[in-house]
Amino acid sequence: MAKFHVSAVTNSIINFANEVDVNLTNLKLQKILFFINGIYYSEKDEVLFAEEMRAWKYGPVIPEIYYEFKRFGSGSLNNAKSFLYDPDQSDISISEIPLTSKELKTVKALSRLFFIQSAANLVEMSHRSDSPWSRYFDLDHIGGKEIIFQDDDKMFFNKIANEIYNKYL
């Protein structure tokens, strides 16, 4: 069961990028969301957010977030916000649903480590042969196949986490 909506996690990452003065693009955000959710899953046996992830050419993508920020192209998202649609209301409002302090601390710690990586490096990391993306990617499948984390994926995300922790901590 997911703890939060992906918009809340996205806003936490964007806010933190602003705090530490990191340029965040849609491509980089997509990979950071993928790795944070996967590492969280490998450590907690549950996902941080459950919104659909798809295996696209340049790696895993959460279409809902991708299309929301597509208008920025390869530009900075640092002044952007993700919006949540409330089905009980007729309008769209800014998602300010806060993460718990524990989850926010985890998201910030992991984001800080992934902020150091270039977008190209994050794409390369997500394209490894043992990644969930590689299992689902199909060039002939328009729109990409849905990526569903499985127990086997924990080993991949544990390896990524260990590599990054060992390199930067």
pLDDT at 139: 78
Q: Whole-angstrom Cα distance, residue 57 to residue 143?
A: 10
Q: Can you give the residue ranges of every domain in the chain?
A: 6-168
pLDDT digits (tens, 9 = 90+) for 60-113: 999 999 999 999 999 999 888 887 655 555 555 545 567 889 999 999 999 999
Residue type, 2: A
Q: What is the dihedral of CA 122, 156, 113, 55, to 10 degrees?
A: 40
Work out the pLDDT band at 143, boundaries 50, 70, 90. Answer: confident
User: Has residue 116 got a pLDDT over 90?
Assistant: yes
**pTM summary value:** 0.90
Distance CA 33, CA 11 (A): 11
155 phi/psi in degrees, rounded to 5: -65, -45
